[in-house]
Amino acid sequence: MSDENEMNTSALLCGSAMTAMQAIMDKHPKFIAGDRLASVIYAVGRISSLPDYERQTGDSIVWSKINQIKKVLATAIESRVLCPAILSAYRKACKDVAAGKSNPTQCRSGPVVEFLMSIVEAHFTVIDRKAVGVLVREVESMFIEFFDYRRLFVKDYRKPKEYATVDLNVSRTEDSIVKAFLAPIMKLSAEGFAPVFYK
């Protein structure tokens, strides 16, 4: 099969997968939960992380569907359902790194994590302050795990020099984690923020 045919097939598969997922998310977002929701989020994240040449044909269609799915995830699913699913999808991305499927220079786990963080940021931007206050412990434990992302790429995290010199892709992913973290934190009162800060 020629390279052009392979690219067309890949784009067609991405488009078909996104169309199916978008239809499910638009009509039944609240009926998908737990492992199924985590699998959907992870799968969409993987497709969103594909290099441009792998979805060259119909690229704008795929991206519009990805953005629509992201919007539904961020706005139509309750925090108590979404947060565990995001954490589960994050752990799957981390397993890719641990299994050697990703590395800092060819890191698809990074874009997947960035996709997850964009959902988290959008979700906490739209929910009200009271809802965030109720979720402080869940948010805290979730982000403590997210902030350990750099460890996946460091052989010995006890060596400060090695810990500080990681690939720029890892730093970019960490930036997305910090940005996502700010969304719920900005909605907390001083009393609510203090325990998170000290931890």
**pLDDT for the residue numbered 121:** 95
Q: What is the pTM of this model?
A: 0.79
Domain positions in the chain are 3-198
Nearest Cα residue to 126 out of 184, 61, 168, 190: 184
Give the tens place of pLDDT for each residue, 165-194.
Answer: 556 778 888 899 999 999 888 887 766 666
CA distance 107 to 45: 13
Using one digit for the tens of pLDDT, what is the confidence trace for 87-143? 999 999 888 776 665 554 455 678 899 999 999 999 999 988 888 878 888 888 899
Rg (alpha carbons) of the chain, rounded to whole number: 18
Residue 42 has pLDDT above 80, yes or no: yes
